[in-house]
């Protein structure tokens, strides 16, 4: 199912704009039509007014075709107000296209989006794949699953002939279980599917709950798009084997068309999100085209990696983050450089953390995710939210692998310390002064003057508390402070000097913390 709103958002990247009738954005589109001189009874939800001499003529054609929307390419500008009035009068949403964009390009986008818009729950492949899986199961006599190249389920047959626990776990989890996938990897099954169009037989594996499989690659040229799997106790032969091979070729065509449609929407979405993150005068317009309500949202910055390959893991995370229709997922995403950015509506940091957790759960086991969450921001403040998310991402990358992603409004103090330490590493803090002198003395003589100064400052001059933290007697603290003052002037009564020394110690890290 596709709505006019989604069609307008995608076509917006080609200079198409909707004139009036904002209430029509929720209309569902199922068919496309073009004027035909030999057939006066042409009908469709979207009419491509090829050959119309004016928006008025295009609207009349659309009303006759019972269309919800009409796409027209006016010969000259200035037709927007007239088109909006005509559309309101006839109950038709008018889409004005840039005259510089060809009809062939516009038609390809509209047909691709409307006719290939029926997707599975996982956001991939038209529902016809389920019908195809059922047909294959009937012909071959075994339960069928259709998977993408990452072993995620796209469709499956109703038939449970020769079904087994492994198939059930695959369907319920929407992808091949990690243990079974690792076993197939070790057996070389995926390598053979990547290298050949010949079907591959996988023997039974009782430990994994597998009774046996016949698998074949779904390929477009040399590119592996997915695979078709049939439950069977022995290798298929004859007509059943040919039916599996033919079915894989049909699956490949479905996947290729579906991917072209999905990639087009990703490109438009990524461009609009990028504009919001970079800032600009049209921020509200970009947010509206993305379907984002005018309310606070958080920027989430994500990096994904495996021990062997960072780039492929990031692309996989981007694909997962943008799976499905825009209206079926909470965020809007862009891949900028080596980082995935997602805009999530809402002010709760825990909602963003759950989104990151869900993203991690959908990725293969070897992939690890690091993320940072910006503070709530209005649409005009998203560039600042991006910087906050980047800094929180750096904080998360330096934390343990299972630490929750930090949010800027909860971790601003740690971010500030990171900035100070970065400045110190860059040589932007004074090399001389009380802290530097005490640190050099500690290094040469094994004293603990810097730790004592830190504890005294953090205890706000309370000798008893300072001594407790250092695990020494208060008189020891007094002696150290006296010797430190003899070594370098320590004006501990001056609040500005106390602040400066606190900043210097914070910038130098916690190596000398008591």
Specify the 3-state DSSP secondary structure of 229. strand
Q: State residue 2's pLDDT score.
A: 76
Closest of 347, 346, 316 to residue 149, by C-alpha:
316
How far apart CA 114 and CA 44 sit, in angstroms, is: 11
Beta bridge partners of 94: 19, 70
Specify the 3-state DSSP secondary structure of 186. helix
Q: State residue 124's pLDDT score.
A: 39
Return mean pLDDT, the chain.
Answer: 84
Specify the 3-state DSSP secondary structure of 307. coil
453 falls in which pLDDT band (50, 70, 90)? Answer: very high
**CA of 131: how far to CAs of 176, 343, 499, in Å?**
21, 35, 71
| Lowest-confidence pick of 181-195, 254-268, 429-443 | 254-268
Closest of 382, 349, 378, 387 to residue 274, by C-alpha:
382
What's the rounded mean pLDDT across residues 258-264? 66
Q: State residue 340's pLDDT score.
A: 94
Strand-pair category, 46-48 with 32-33: parallel
Cβ atoms 249, 94 nearer than 8 A: no
Cβ atoms 37, 291 nearer than 8 A: no
Q: Is pLDDT of 327 > 60?
A: no
How far apart CA 82 and CA 502 sit, in angstroms, is: 67
| Lowest-confidence pick of 5-19, 399-413, 472-486 | 5-19
Q: CB atoms < 10 A from the CB of 237, how many? A: 8
Q: State residue 349's pLDDT score.
A: 93
Q: State residue 126's pLDDT score.
A: 42
Beta bridge partners of 215: 200, 229
Cβ atoms 314, 303 nearer than 8 A: yes
Q: Is pLDDT of 478 > 50?
A: yes
Q: What are phi and psi of 60, to 5 degrees?
A: -60, -40
CA dihedral over 123, 127, 131, 132, signed as positive or negative:
negative
Cβ atoms 330, 345 nearer than 8 A: yes
Specify the 3-state DSSP secondary structure of 24. helix
Return the H-helix or E-strand segment holding 281. Answer: none
Q: Is pLDDT of 191 > 90?
A: yes
Q: State residue 216's pLDDT score.
A: 96
Q: What is the tens place of the pLDDT at every residue in 69-125?
A: 999 988 665 567 777 888 888 899 999 888 877 787 787 778 767 765 544 333 434
3-state DSSP of 443-508: HHHCCCHHHHHHHHHHCCCCHHHHHHHHCCCHHHHHHHHHHHHHHCCCCCCCHHHHHHHHHHHHHC
pTM reported for the whole predicted model: 0.54
Closest of 421, 475, 479 to residue 447, by C-alpha:
479
């Amino acid at each position: 199912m596709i709505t006019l709103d989604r069609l307008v958002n995608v076509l917006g990247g080609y200079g198409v704009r909707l004139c009036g009738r904002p209430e029509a954005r929720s209309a569902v589109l199922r068919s496309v039509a073009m004027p035909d001189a030999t057939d006066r009874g042409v009908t469709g939800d979207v009419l491509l007014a090829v050959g119309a001499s004016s928006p008025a003529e295009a609207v009349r054609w659309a009303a006759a075709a019972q269309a919800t929307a009409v796409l027209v390419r006016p010969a000259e500008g200035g037709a927007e107000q007239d088109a909006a009035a005509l559309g309101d009068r006839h109950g038709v949403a008018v889409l004005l296209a840039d005259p510089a964009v060809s009809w062939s390009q516009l038609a390809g986008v509209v047909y691709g989006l409307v006719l290939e818009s029926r997707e599975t729950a996982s956001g991939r492949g038209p529902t016809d794949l389920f019908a195809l899986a059922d047909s294959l199961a009937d012909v071959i006599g075994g339960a069928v699953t259709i998977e993408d190249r990452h072993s995620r389920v796209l469709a499956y047959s109703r038939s449970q002939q020769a079904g087994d626990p492994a198939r059930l776990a695959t369907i319920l989890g929407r992808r091949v279980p990690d243990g079974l996938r690792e076993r197939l990897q070790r057996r070389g099954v995926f390598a053979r599917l990547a290298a050949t169009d010949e079907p591959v037989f996988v023997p039974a594996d009782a430990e994994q709950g597998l009774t046996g499989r016949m698998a074949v690659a779904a390929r477009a040229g040399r590119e592996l798009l997915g695979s078709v799997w049939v439950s069977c106790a022995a290798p298929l032969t004859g007509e059943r084997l040919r039916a599996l091979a033919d079915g894989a070729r049909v699956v490949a065509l479905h996947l290729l068309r579906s991917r072209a449609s999905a990639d087009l929407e990703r490109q438009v979405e990524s461009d609009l999100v990028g504009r919001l993150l970079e800032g600009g005068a049209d921020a509200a317009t970009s947010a509206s085209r993305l379907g984002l309500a005018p309310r606070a949202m958080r920027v989430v910055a994500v990096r994904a990696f495996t021990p062997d390959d960072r780039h492929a893991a990031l692309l996989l995370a981007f694909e997962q983050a943008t799976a499905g229709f825009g209206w079926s997922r909470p965020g809007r995403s862009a891949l900028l450089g080596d980082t995935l950015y997602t805009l999530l509506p809402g002010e709760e940091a825990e909602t963003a953390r759950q989104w990151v957790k869900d993203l991690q759960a959908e990725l293969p086991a070897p992939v690890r995710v690091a993320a940072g969450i910006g503070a709530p921001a209005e649409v005009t403040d998203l560039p600042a939210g991006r910087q906050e998310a980047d800094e929180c991402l750096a904080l998360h990358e330096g934390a343990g692998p299972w630490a929750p992603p930090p949010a800027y409004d909860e971790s601003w103090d740690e971010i500030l310390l990171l900035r100070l330490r970065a400045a110190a590493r860059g040589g932007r803090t004074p090399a001389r002064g009380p802290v530097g002198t005490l640190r050099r003395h500690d290094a040469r003589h094994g004293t603990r003057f810097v730790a004592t100064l830190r504890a005294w400052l953090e205890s706000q001059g309370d000798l008893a508390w300072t001594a407790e933290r250092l695990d020494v007697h208060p008189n020891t603290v007094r002696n150290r402070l006296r010797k430190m003052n003899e070594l370098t002037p320590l004006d501990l009564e001056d609040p500005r000097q106390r602040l400066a020394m606190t900043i210097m110690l914070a910038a130098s890290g916690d190596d000398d913390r008591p």
